[in-house]
Every structure is written in C-alpha cells, then in structure tokens.
Chains A and B, each alone.
Chain A
C-alpha cells in the first residue's frame, strides 16, 4: 500500500479561476493538471502575465522545462482563459493532453453552431448595451462571453505536443463508472459529469421564440436590429395637439415602459452567461482514496441533471475537495448539493473577488453554509474574513493559496 498526496494551488488571479493540481505518488514523478488560467484584477499585477510565469515555475520537470500533463479548460469564459492569451509564454510548455468541453470541438457541426450563436449573441449584446450607454454588470457579463481568440488558439494548438480531447460528447454515454483513464495521469479515475448531453440545457431552445428556433440565434438577430425598426403608421393617424393630462398615460407608466427594455437586456446578459457556464466540464477525479469535484461554472440546469442521476450519488458523498463553481455564486452550488449530497468534511476553494460583479459573488451564505456543515473553505479574496481556515496556507513569495490532501492507495 503506497502513499501519496494531492497538492492543490489556487492562484490569486483576482476574479477568475486558475488551479494547479499535482498528483504525487511514492516513487513516481509528480503529475500536473492545470485547471483554467484566467482572471481580472489580480492583486499581483495587471493582466495575467505574472500568474502565467508563476504557474510555469511550479511545473518544471527534472530538466527544468515546463511540463503540464493535462491542461483543462472548463469553459471559454474570458475569466477562465485570459491567461492562455499570452501565446509566446506557452510555446515552450509541453502539454500531454488538453481537455475541453464538447462544444469546443471544431469538427462537430452542432458544436460549431452553438459556438457561433453564442458569439453572435455576445457581440450583439455588447453592441446594443454600448449604444444605449449601459454599463454595469450586464455589459461586463456580455464582454466576458466574447471568445478570446488568442487564448483559444493556444489551447487548441499553442502548446508543445498535446492530444486535444473533447468531453461530454453528445453521443458518448454519461460517465458513471471510471470510463476514462488517461495515460497522462496514471492512477487517476476520471468521471465526466458535465456538460449536459441535453442540448436544450445549453441552448434553452425549448423556450420561445417561434417554431422551436434557437433562442441564441433569435435574440442575437433581434439585438442586431435597429430598435426603431417597427411597423409604422401614416402621419394622418396621429394626434396633432396635446391631449388633456387625464387622457394621457401617467409618467410612471411611461417610465415603466421604457424600463422594460433594460430588464430584457439584463435577462439576456444573465442568460448568455448561464448558457456558456452550462457548457462547463464537470469533472470528478479520484486518486487513491481521495476525490476532487471540479465543476467549472456549471449552473442549476446541469446540477439538476447530475443530482437526478442515482449512479453519481455515492461519488458525490465521497468528495474531499471542491473547487466551488462560478466564483461562489448562488446558483452554481445548489442548496441541495451542500445540504444533502456532499459529505461533511471536505475542503473547498473559492476563487473570486467580491465586488467584481456586484455583491452576490461570492455569496456569503454559501460559504457560511458549507462551513456550518463542517467544510473548510478558503477564499482568494483576502478582504473577506476569515479567508483561510485550517488546512490551507498562503505561501509568502508565491502567488497562490495551497492545500495538501494525503492519499492512501
């Protein structure tokens, strides 16, 4: 019976995700898995340059060359991939495998369609919000959804030597047993719980608009149109003078009518964010007697499906570490998951900056609830007290928070 450990490093990227997971087994060289590399407003300097350098430092092999065995891109939101945009920095990094959700597969027509529609909607929303002078969270969300071409290029072709794999393919059966074992990570059982096999969880096309069209495409087209492009009437039908005020609509009502459009845009921004989040790779990795739950930013619809799957129940209960989804937002870690599905004594890490998108992320009630049930939760944002508890440490001179899990085989 050999021993080992799993080291998990949460890099301080500000608001975003970048985790380095190292699998160590007695007598073997350590194996690295990089889970996402993106963020904004890092305390260690503008952009992600410093973080990328810091990551590379941690993955040097015996010959002092950077070698990452698996790079995982949970989903392509900018705050998860912006670090990959430094193409020159990654050129010398050897990567054995790159894992992406099936929606990134360049050879799958359905995936291509969804990608195009998502991009189109994001761009249309950004343009419309700019035109209407709307800033704030709807605009930030829309910008986050525009694909970062440099980062994507790195992921697909920019490392040295990788095999690129796409997971959760629409035709592949949902993983219930260990159906994937990778040469790059021997000894690790890989369970893929998401993205959903059900396109409508991603596309929400069961909703309107007409004739079962993709809502992404419908709303993209709608936003691209000129708002004044509406049916017109002959001038002679309009009133010439001003009517008495008791026959007019009240100013409050007029204001409400004007506000309706803003509400719609908010809804579209949030829905755009959600659909991209729901393409996230949801992974459960088991190494020896330890399990790690890495759900990307998957939100409610995906969790609903996962929790309805009986074959996954035992896996969830045995989880020892959770990378908390969507920077600790409310609906990426459903209440039922915390209250009923996970065991009690796991460790969790939340990589988020409070105030980056308002006060709802990370959600205080969420990490409080986790802690109340016995979990140890670390937050990357040092302004939130307590941000570290037992089992975590912030290493001076390094740009990460680390935790180590002892493993038995």
Chain B
C-alpha cells in the first residue's frame, strides 16, 4: 500500500506574545513551517537546537518532533517550565524567519554550510540554537560559532519594572527576540562584511533591519494583530493604532530593540547628523520605515473606514465591532507581509561592504521596482516619504523620485558596455548532456533547487552536477571580476596586495512584472586593501566591492559598487574611494573617543579593536558606553 505523500507544512504551537506580559495572558498561536525530517533536538537541515543549560552546565533532553503524538497535536503544549517546548518554539520561529528570507530572496538557502570567520576550525553545517545558553537578559547571534545564544534570568526584587519580582524570563520564548536574532544570522549569511563597522550606519543597520523583520513578522499574523487590537480599550484612532501595537512590541522585545526608542521618535531631520550610538541611530531608520508602513496601512483601510462609518470617516466612541476589527487585522497583516518582503528583497541590491542607510533606501526602491513597477498601494512612495521625514538622504542622489533613487541600470551607463558573463563548463564525467553557458547553469540551478527533487532517485544526480557546476561558476566569476576590475571600481591586477574574492553568488528565481519567470544571477565581489603592519586600522582593513546582478543572458543589469579606487561616476554614482576610507578612519577614531575600556587594553586588543567591537553580544548588552 502506497504511503501518502510527505506533507508540505508542519504545524507547531508557539507563544504569540511574550508570556511575561501577563496583561495579555498566555496567548498561543499555531504557525506552520516547511516540513522536513527532524532528528531529536530538533535538528533539521539548516538548524540544530542544542539545549545546553549554561548555568548548570548540563544538557536537556531534546524533543523529538516526529513523535506521532506530537505530530497529532501540533507539537508540545506551550509551557514556560518545559524546556522541550522552548526547543520547539525556537526551532519554529527561526524556521519561519528562514522561510521569509527564502521567499523574498527567491532562492532556497543552501544551508548555513559555510563558516565566515577566518579562524573557524570546525565546519558546522547548521545554525545552532541554544535556548538556555547563559544567565542574562539578552540574546545574541555569534558569527564565530554560528550560533544564536538565548539568555534566561530571574528578575531581581528591585529591578522588576514591568514584571513581577522574581519572575523567570526566557528570551527564547519571545517570538520577536527569536525573529530579531534570526534576522541577524540571515543577514550575515548574505552579507558577511556587514559585521565590520566601517561607518556609523553599519551596526545600526544590522540592528534596525533585524527589528524591522521582527516587527513585520509579528504583524503578519492576523491573529496576533487581532489580539493586540482587542486589548486597546476605548477609542481606536487610526493614527495611534499602529503606534500602540508597536509599543507593545517594543516592550516585549525589551532592551535590545531600537524600536523602543523609535516609537515616540519625533521626526527631526537634524538628528541623523548627530546621533552616533547604533541603537539610537537604528531607531531613526526603523522610524522611517515604520512611517511608510503606517501611511500605507492608512491608505489601504480608508475605503473600509468610509464603509464602516457611512462615509463620514469618523469612528464612533467605545469599542469597535468585532467584524471591523477582523477586517482591519487582515489588512494590517497584509501590509506587514508586503513590507517584510520588500525589505528582505532589498538585501540583494545592497553593496557587499560598507552599507549606509541611503544604500538601503535605494536598494528597496530598486528591488521593488523590479517586481512591481506600478506601486498600487503607494508603498514605495510612502517609504521614501518616511526616509525624507526622518532626514535620511542618500548622499549621491539629487532628488527623492523613484527614478533618481533607483540604482542605475547598466544600459544607462554612458558610454561603457559591460562585457557579458559567458562561460563554458567542462564536461563532467558521467553526464548525459553538456552544460555550456550561463543559461544552462541557471536552469540546472532551478532544477536542483526544487524541493520535490529529494523524492526522486535521479534528483541526486542533478544535485551532484549542480554542485560541480557551482565550483566552475565561481572560477569564471573571479576571472570576470579580474578582467572588469576597473569598471567595478576595484584595483586591476591587485595581486597579493589587493586580494579579490567572489564573496558569494546565487541564482534568483522570481516572478517578473508580467507574471513570467525571471532568472538572474547575483554575484558579490570583494577586494581588500592589505595594509602595512604599521597602519592603525584596528584590524578593519579597507575594502571595496560590487554587487552585480546579471540577467540570464549574461548582461549585467545592475552594478552596486563601493569603489576601492577612484569613484563610481562611470556607473552613474558619486561614491568615492578616498572619501570612504577617510570616513572609515574617522569612524574608528570616533569609536575610540567613546570607548571607556580603551585606556586599559593591552596592545593586542588595541590592534584589533575594530574587529572586537564588531560583535552582536556587545551590541545586545544594551550598549554600555
């Protein structure tokens, strides 16, 4: 008798809102994540929950989510006291975050199979999640060990603030904290150099982006929005509604959130020039995007509002009808989902190194224009408006029109024509067909990444050929970058003094504006300026790079460059290598001014201080300065 096909989704229960916020009771939610075979832990393809009690230094028994009884009941019953439920929750929400990234970026994550830190000695294939890693009030992603550490603690008698004295708090039970930390790990997966603070936007961007992912994921569940809406007793004024929801979120996510300061942040364009601290700076970015989110949401529910109020647009006093709340909740969730997709997609259009807030705005606009040329809900416009309101202006544009903000397409560069990317694969033994150019590679990639492939015998053959092809593509891309270094803003024939590497590449599969399948190849090139031993860079070398988006016929469509020499005028930009380097030194000095531990550090620490400051652990400790 044939067994039924494997289910696509697995349902798991989680806490919807932080259980410590007893104002909401213990609200639970059932979410669904892609179904994959799980070993006890749970341990899947990308994730491994390793439940180690960092205080008592013992391991907990891992949960077996394939247990038939658990499969029947959507996993374990949510519980604060059962660590196995904590394992389940951390797995579920992290999987959700991964799925969001995969969908938005248009490709499956080929595992967290690479270590990015240079002194890694062990190759660990999965992202480790440690739900009870240490006693403390925060959580952080550790890029060196490729693990997310969640802290847990008991609130002191006099520190309780919002909670009860002696209350037990587990950061692994906060959906928003898990989403935030997962976002750090996922951004790191696609942009490993964003960990190096080369300007004052870099760490702030990491924080703000992770907050936005958590915020929008949080609001993408209509049930959660509904729950939160019901709690707002009294009048629901449109303008305040989302602020209120965000406030609850901010309190839940606690101290490491930039959002908390973003809530009541009055727009003041002058602020961005004077704020230094990553959380405060990140808060401005969060506030800008949220501004766009609120504007978009308000526009979307306007017709509903008019309907519900017979054309007056004025809501009555007192509690609103449940049906109206339901409809509003669905709209909020939809807009949140759109924004989540937009911000994640923007990552592909960001440079590989030295990002700024302005880059992010341009990347969002470009990425969105590629998918949705007609901005029906004016989501893009609202976002641009939000950036303007909070004073975030990309330095190299002369207006905030969509056209101006969009990265210049290669067809617009004048008068250079990019060489098209073409290569011939070597014939791999045992294959039945010849792959001999980029398009065939992309098609092979498409096939190899179909999830159903795992179920067929010949699937493994395709995957083998794909992996072999990838190695060759890497080589070809390196040659391409070497030949076109000048145009990309890099140093040609740099040799050992200016090592050039292909930092990553992947095919992207997405639906184009007319509904057709678009396949592109995105590559990141990074070149390092090896500095003299006497130069004081704090261990942060000066780097340049370019993200290139190739169409399936090998034409470069977009080039987002941070030049290592010269400028980007020939690419339609105004970024300048000398200015970037100056900015990087100035930033190191500014960090030094503020670093109260610096006078006491030994020479070795000082020599690598730029790198040492690039940790999420420090960032999430609350930024004691």
A residues sitting closer than 8 Å to B (CB atoms) are: 137-138, 141, 204, 207-211, 213, 215, 217-218, 221-222, 225, 227-231, 233-234, 237-239, 243, 247-250, 252-253, 256-257, 260-261, 263-264, 266-268, 270-271, 273-274, 299-301, 326, 329-331, 334-335, 357-361, 363
Residue of B nearest to A278 (CB): B596
Say yes or no: A237 contacts B82, CB within 8 Å: yes
Rounded to whole angstroms, the CA-CA distance of A222 and B622 in the bound complex is 14
CB neighbours of A249 from chain B (8 A): 50, 52, 128, 130, 147
What are 8 contact pairs spanning A and B, CB under 8 A? A208-B256, A234-B81, A238-B58, A249-B50, A263-B618, A329-B598, A330-B592, A334-B593
CB <8 Å contact, B156 and A222: yes
- Given B135, B145, B152, which contacts A252 in the complex, CB threshold below 8 Å? B145
Q: Is the CB of A233 within 8 A of B142?
A: no
User: Which B residue's beta carbon lies closest to that of A240?
Assistant: B61
Q: Tell me whether A266 and B597 are in contact (CB under 8 A).
A: yes
Closest to A138 in B: B600
The complex places the Cα of A268 from the Cα of B623 at a distance, in Å, of 11
User: Is A237 within 8 A of B594, CB to CB?
Assistant: no
- Is B60 in contact with A233, judged by CB distance below 8 angstroms? yes
Q: Which residues 22-70 of B have a CB within 8 angstroms of A?
A: 41, 43, 48, 50, 52-56, 58-61
In contact, B617 and A260 (Cβ under 8 angstroms):
yes
What residues on A are CB-neighbors of B256 within 8 Å?
Answer: 208
B582 within 8 A of A: no
Segment among B157-165, B204-212, B506-514 that sits at the interface with chain A: B157-165
The reply to whether A273 and B53 contact each other, CB–CB distance below 8 Å, is: no
Known contacts A207-B625, A237-B60; A360/B168 CB under 8 A = no
CA distance A361 to B596 in the complex (A): 12
| Chain B residues in 8 Å Cβ range of A274 | 596
Give the distance in Å from the alpha carbon of A296 to the alpha carbon of B154 in the complex. 40
**Shortest Cβ distance from B536 into chain A, in angstroms?**
9
B170 interfacial contact with A, CB 8 Å: yes
Within 8 Å of chain A (Cβ to Cβ): is B1?
no
Complexed CA–CA distance, A239 and B41 (Å): 12
The contact of A231 among B162, B168, B595, by CB within 8 Å, is B168
Interface centre among A253, A271, A274, A335 (most CB of B within 10 A): A253
Q: Whole-angstrom distance from the CB of A275 to the nearest CB of chain B?
A: 9
Q: How many contacts A-B (CB < 8 Å)?
A: 162
Find out whether the CB atom of A218 lies under 8 angstroms from the CB atom of B159: yes
Residue B439 lies at the interface, judged by CB distance under 8 Å to chain A: no
| B599 interface contact, C-beta 8 A | yes
Stretch in contact with the other chain, from B4-12, B325-333, B446-454, B601-609:
B601-609
Assuming A210-B159, A247-B41, what are 19 further A-B pairs, CB within 8 angstroms? A210-B254, A211-B161, A221-B158, A222-B156, A233-B81, A233-B83, A238-B59, A252-B122, A253-B147, A256-B144, A260-B136, A267-B618, A268-B624, A271-B624, A357-B600, A358-B602, A359-B602, A360-B600, A361-B600
Contact (A330, B145) CB under 8 Å given A237-B84, A267-B621: no
A230 touches B159 (CB 8 A): no
Q: How large is the interface on B (under 10, 10 to 19, 20 to 34, 35 or more residues)?
A: 35 or more
Contacts of A138 in B (CB 8 A): 600
Report A-chain residues with C-beta under 8 Å of the C-beta of B122. 250, 252
Known contacts A207-B625, A233-B81, A237-B60, A256 near B601 by CB under 8 Å? no
User: Taking CB as reference atom, which chain A residue is nearest B54?
Assistant: A257
CA distance A250 to B152 in the complex (A): 21
A233, closest chain B residue (CB): B83
Beta-carbon contact of B593 and A300 below 8 Å: yes
B interface residues (Cβ-Cβ under 8 A, vs A): 41, 43, 48, 50, 52-56, 58-61, 81-84, 121-122, 124, 128, 130, 133-137, 142, 144-145, 147, 149, 152-154, 156, 158-159, 161-162, 168-170, 254-256, 589, 592-603, 606, 617-618, 621-625
- A271–B596 CB distance below 8 A: yes
The 3 closest A-B pairs by CB, nearest first: A208-B622, A231-B168, A208-B255
- B592: chain A residues within 8 A (beta carbon): 330-331
State whether B144 touches A329 (Cβ < 8 A): no
What is the bound-complex CA distance between A124 and B168, given in angstroms? Answer: 23
A136: min CB distance to chain B, Å: 9
When the two chains form their complex, are residues B600 and A137 in contact, meaning their CB atoms are under 8 A apart?
yes
Q: Tell whether A299 pairs with B589 under 8 Å between CB atoms, given A204-B624, A268-B624.
A: no
Contact A231 B154 (CB under 8 A): yes
Residues of B within 8 A of A141 (CB): 600
Q: Are A360 and B625 in contact (CB under 8 A)?
A: no
Neighbouring B residues of A208 by C-beta, 8 Å: 255-256, 622-623
Give chain A residues whose Cβ lies under 8 Å from the Cβ of B152: 230-231
Complex Cα distance A234/B54, Å? 15
CA distance A298 to B590 in the complex (A): 17
Residues on the A chain within 8 Å of B121, using CB:
252
Q: Which one of B58, B59, B593 has the highest number of Cβ atoms from chain A below 10 Å of its Cβ?
A: B593
Contact A213 B596, beta carbon cutoff 8 Å: no
Cα A268 to Cα B621 with chains together (Å): 11
Pick the most buried of B81, B82, B624: most chain A CB atoms within 10 A of its CB. B624
The reply to whether B598 and A331 form a contact with Cβ atoms under 8 Å apart is: yes
With A239-B60, A331-B593, A357-B599 in contact, is A227–B135 under 8 Å at CB?
yes
CA distance A270 to B145 in the complex (A): 27
- A-side contacts of B156, CB under 8 Å: 221-222, 225
Interface pair A231/B600, CB less than 8 Å apart: no
B104 CB, nearest partner CB in chain A, Å: 30
**Chain A residue contacts of B598, Cβ below 8 A:** 329-331, 360
Q: Which residue, B48, B170, B599, has most C-beta atoms of chain A within 10 A?
A: B599
In the assembly, what is the distance between CA of A270 and CA of B606, in Å? Answer: 15
CB distance from A162 to the nearest CB of B (A): 33
Q: Which of B60, B124, B136, B617 contacts A238 (CB 8 A)?
A: B60
Distance (whole angstroms) from the CB of B535 to the closest CB of chain A: 14
What residues of chain B lie closer than 8 Å to A256, measured between beta carbons?
142, 144-145
User: Which chain B residues lie closer than 8 Å to A222 at the CB level?
Assistant: 156, 159
B602 / chain A contacts, CB cutoff of 8 Å: 358-359
Whether A299 pairs with B601 at a CB distance below 8 angstroms is no
Contacts of A248 in B (CB 8 A): 50, 52, 59
Known contacts A228-B55, A233-B83, A267 near B133 by CB under 8 Å: no
Also in contact, A211 and B133, with CB within 8 A (given A230-B153, A358-B602): no
CB distance from A17 to the nearest CB of B (A): 15
Decide: B623 and A257 in contact? CB cutoff 8 A.
no
Would A247 and B50 count as touching, CB distance under 8 A? yes
- Taking a contact as CB atoms under 8 Å apart, the answer to whether B83 and A359 are in contact is no
Q: How far is the CA of A3 from the CA of B592 in the complex (A)?
A: 43
Q: Report whether B83 and A204 are in contact in the complex, using a CB–CB cutoff of 8 Å.
A: no
| CB closest residue in chain B, given A236 | B61
